[in-house]
C-alpha cells in the first residue's frame, strides 16, 4: 500500500482512495470536506515523482486556497517538495509544484507562449466544479495544457452542485478526448435531459441518472464526509423574520412587477436569476439599481437603496461568539464585523475576531476556519449548493472541537423560504450521487 507521507499514516479512507487512484492517470475525486482529498492527490503524485513517472505538478485552485491552503498542505504532507506560488513570482525554476489561482490562467497561458516551455506533466484541478462550463474562457485557454499532461486529477467535494449536467464539463477538463460523455455538451444534454417549459430548466430522462453513474464508474471516486469522519454534531436554527405591513406591500409589488417583466421576454437562467437575486436583495435590506453616470456618457453606476435592517437586528441578537456571517451582497454590513480576508484568517483561528463577515464564494473554499469558532450565520440564503456546503464545511470539519450551529435568517413567505427549499432538494440529489459512487461500492 502506498505510504509516502513523512509522519502521519493515512486514515483508512485516505488509504482506500490512494489505492484506487494510483493506477489511474486521470480521475475525479468527489471527496467530502475533511477526508483529505488534497493529501490523497499530493501523496499519489509524490509517489509518481519518486518512481520517475512525474517531474512536476501544476495545482490550479481558487485564489485563497492557492495562497493559503495548498502551500501549507504540501509543506505538511510532502515537506521535501519545492513549491512555487505563481501568484507571487513568474519564473520556471526547479520547483516540484507550481500553484496558480484560476483568475490568472490567461497570464499562465501567455507565459507558456513567451517562454516556449512547459515543465509540468501533472495537473491538479482543485474545486473542479469551476470547469462545469467547458466553454468558459479559462477552460478553453487551459485545454492545451490539460491535453499535454500525463496525469490530471480533479478534486471537489460537490461533483454535482446543481444537476447531473454539471459533471460534463468536469469530465471534459479531466479526461479531454477520452470524455465518457463525448466531445459535445449539447449532444450530452440531448441524450440525457428533457428541456423544461422554461427552456433553461432541464430534467433528466428516465434511466438517465443510472446511465450517467455507470459511465462515471472507475473514473470518479466519491466519499461522503459523514460516512468516514467522526464529525461533531451540527444543528440548524432558522430565525423567522416578519415584514411589517408597509414592507410586505413593497415586496409583493416588486415581485409582481418582476414576474410580469419575466413573462414578457424569453425566460432564461439569466433572467430567472436576476429575479431571484433582486428579491433576495430586498429581503436582505437593500436593492441595487444601475443609474447613468452624471458626467461620463454611456457609463453606469450602482446605486444602493436601503430598505430595512431587520436581518442585521436579528443577527446581533445571536449571542454566540466567535460568529462567522455569510453574506451575498456587498451592501450587507454588520456593525462591529471584521471582513474576513486571507491576511486575517490567522487572527480568526486564534479567536481574536469575535464577529467576522464574508462572501461564501470568497472564503468558503479550501480555507480552514474550524479553530476560530463553531457558529455560522447565513444572512441571506444562497441558491448555490456548492457555496452552502463549502462555507459550512469551513467550520464543520475534522479538528472542530465543538458542536456546530448554523443560523439562517429567513423572512417569512418570501424568496428566502423558496431558495432554502430548493437548496434542500438539491442537497438530497447530491447525497444520492455521492452514495451511488461511494468508495464502499469497491469500484
Q: Assign 388 a pLDDT band (cuts: 50, 70, 90).
A: confident
- pLDDT exceeds cutoff 50 at 57: yes
pLDDT greater at residue 442 or residue 101: 101
pTM above threshold 0.85: no
- pLDDT exceeds cutoff 50 at 443: no
Q: What is the pLDDT of residue 387?
A: 83
Question: Strand, coil or helix: what is 60?
Answer: strand
Name residues whose C-beta falls within 8 Å of residue 440's C-beta, 6 or more positions apart in sequence: 227
What homologous superfamily is domain 12-229 in, according to CATH? Tandem AAA-ATPase domain (3.40.50.10810)
Q: Percent of the chain at pLDDT above 70?
A: 88
Distance, C-alpha 232 to centroid of its chain = 22
**Range 313-341 average pLDDT:** 90
Q: Assign 256 a pLDDT band (cuts: 50, 70, 90).
A: confident
Q: Percent of the chain at pLDDT above 90?
A: 49
Q: Assign 339 a pLDDT band (cuts: 50, 70, 90).
A: very high
- pLDDT exceeds cutoff 60 at 39: yes
Q: Return the residue matching grid coordinates 461500492.
A: 441
Q: What is the pLDDT of residue 275?
A: 78
- pLDDT exceeds cutoff 80 at 267: no
Cβ–Cβ under 8 Å, residues 44 and 168: no
Cβ–Cβ under 8 Å, residues 421 and 414: no
Range name among 6-15, 16-25, 129-138, 395-404 with the lowest pLDDT average? 6-15
Range name among 204-208, 389-393, 419-423 with the lowest pLDDT average? 419-423
Please state, in angstroms and rounded to a whole number, the distance separating the CA atoms of residues 368 and 391. Answer: 10
Ramachandran region of residue 307, left (φ > 0), alpha (ψ -120 to 50) or beta?
alpha
Name residues whose C-beta falls within 8 Å of residue 141's C-beta, 6 or more positions apart in sequence: 105, 106, 109
Range name among 268-272, 295-299, 354-358 with the lowest pLDDT average? 268-272
Range name among 70-74, 218-222, 290-294, 378-382 with the lowest pLDDT average? 290-294
Q: Assign 364 a pLDDT band (cuts: 50, 70, 90).
A: low
Q: What is the pLDDT of residue 328?
A: 86
Q: What is the pLDDT of residue 264?
A: 55
Q: Assign 366 a pLDDT band (cuts: 50, 70, 90).
A: low
Range name among 106-115, 208-217, 267-276 with the lowest pLDDT average? 267-276
> Where in the chain are all domains bearing CATH 3.40.50.300?
234-431
Q: Return the residue matching grid coordinates 440529489.
A: 429
> Where in the chain are all domains bearing CATH 3.40.50.10810?
12-229
Which of 42-56, 261-275, 282-296 is the most confident on average?
42-56
Please state, in angstroms and rounded to a whole number, the distance separating the CA atoms of residues 138 and 205. Answer: 31
Please state, in angstroms and rounded to a whole number, the distance separating the CA atoms of residues 34 and 396. Answer: 9
pLDDT in tens, 193-235: 887 654 555 788 999 999 999 999 999 999 988 888 888 999 9
The answer to whether domain 234-431 has CATH 3.30.70.380 is no
Which of 59-63, 66-70, 84-88 is the most confident on average?
59-63
The pairing of beta strand 375-378 with beta strand 404-411: parallel
- pLDDT exceeds cutoff 90 at 151: yes
The pairing of beta strand 193-195 with beta strand 202-204: antiparallel
- pLDDT exceeds cutoff 90 at 27: yes
The pairing of beta strand 338-339 with beta strand 355-358: parallel
Q: What is the pLDDT of residue 350?
A: 95
Q: Assign 172 a pLDDT band (cuts: 50, 70, 90).
A: very high
- pLDDT exceeds cutoff 80 at 110: yes
Q: What is the pLDDT of residue 295?
A: 78
Please state, in angstroms and rounded to a whole number, the distance separating the CA atoms of residues 326 and 365. Answer: 13
The pairing of beta strand 122-126 with beta strand 151-156: parallel
- What's the CA dihedral at 358, 252, 385, 356 to 10 degrees? 10
> 244: which 3 cell numbers?
411589517
Q: Which of 14, 19, 17 is nearest to 2 (CA)?
A: 19
Cβ–Cβ under 8 Å, residues 301 and 293: yes
- pLDDT exceeds cutoff 90 at 177: yes
Amino acid at each position: 500500500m502506498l505510504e509516502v507521507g513523512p509522519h502521519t499514516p493515512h486514515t483508512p479512507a485516505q488509504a482506500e482512495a490512494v489505492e484506487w487512484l494510483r493506477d489511474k492517470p486521470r480521475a475525479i475525486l468527489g471527496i467530502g470536506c475533511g477526508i483529505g482529498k488534497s493529501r490523497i492527490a499530493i501523496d499519489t503524485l509524490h509517489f509518481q515523482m519518486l518512481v520517475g513517472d512525474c517531474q512536476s505538478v501544476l495545482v490550479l485552485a481558487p485564489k485563497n486556497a492557492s495562497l493559503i491552503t495548498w502551500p501549507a498542505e504540501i509543506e505538511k504532507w510532502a515537506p521535501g517538495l519545492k513549491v512555487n506560488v505563481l501568484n507571487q513570482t513568474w519564473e520556471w525554476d526547479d520547483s516540484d509544484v507550481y500553484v496558480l489561482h484560476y483568475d490568472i490562467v490567461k497570464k499562465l497561458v501567455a507565459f507558456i507562449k513567451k517562454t516556449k516551455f512547459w515543465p509540468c506533466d501533472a495537473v491538479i484541478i482543485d474545486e473542479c466544479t469551476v470547469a462545469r462550463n467547458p466553454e468558459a474562457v479559462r477552460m478553453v485557454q487551459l485545454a492545451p495544457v490539460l491535453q499535454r499532461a500525463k496525469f490530471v486529477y480533479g478534486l471537489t467535494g460537490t461533483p454535482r452542485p446543481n444537476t447531473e449536467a454539471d459533471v460534463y464539463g468536469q469530465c471534459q477538463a479531466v479526461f479531454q478526448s477520452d470524455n465518457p460523455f463525448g466531445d459535445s455538451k449539447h449532444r450530452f444534454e440531448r441524450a440525457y435531459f428533457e428541456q423544461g417549459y422554461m427552456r433553461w430548466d432541464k430534467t433528466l430522462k428516465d434511466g438517465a441518472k443510472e446511465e450517467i453513474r455507470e459511465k462515471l464508474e472507475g473514473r470518479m471516486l466519491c466519499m461522503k464526509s459523514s460516512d468516514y469522519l467522526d464529525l461533531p454534531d451540527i444543528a440548524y436554527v432558522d430565525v423567522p423574520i416578519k415584514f411589517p405591513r408597509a414592507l410586505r406591500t413593497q415586496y409583493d409589488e416588486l415581485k409582481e412587477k418582476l414576474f410580469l417583466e419575466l413573462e414578457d421576454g424569453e425566460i432564461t437562467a439569466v433572467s430567472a436569476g436576476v429575479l431571484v437575486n433582486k428579491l433576495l436583495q430586498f429581503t436582505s435590506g437593500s436593492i441595487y439599481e444601475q443609474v447613468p453616470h452624471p458626467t461620463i456618457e454611456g457609463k453606469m453606476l450602482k446605486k444602493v437603496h436601503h430598505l430595512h435592517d431587520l436581518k442585521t437586528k436579528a443577527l446581533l441578537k445571536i449571542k454566540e461568539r466567535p460568529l462567522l456571517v455569510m453574506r451575498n451582497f456587498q451592501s450587507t454590513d454588520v456593525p462591529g464585523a471584521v471582513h474576513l480576508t486571507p491576511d486575517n484568517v490567522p487572527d480568526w483561528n486564534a479567536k481574536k475576531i469575535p464577529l467576522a463577515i464574508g462572501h461564501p464564494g470568497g472564503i468558503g473554499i479550501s480555507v480552514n476556519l474550524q479553530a476560530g469558532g463553531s457558529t455560522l450565520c447565513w444572512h441571506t440564503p444562497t441558491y448555490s449548493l456548492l457555496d452552502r456546503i463549502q462555507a459550512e464545511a469551513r467550520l464543520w470539519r475534522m479538528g472542530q472541537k465543538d458542536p456546530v450551529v448554523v443560523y439562517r435568517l429567513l423572512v417569512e413567505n418570501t424568496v428566502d423560504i423558496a431558495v432554502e427549499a430548493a437548496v434542500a432538494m438539491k442537497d438530497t440529489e447530491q447525497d444520492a450521487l455521492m452514495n451511488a459512487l461511494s468508495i464502499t461500492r469497491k469500484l
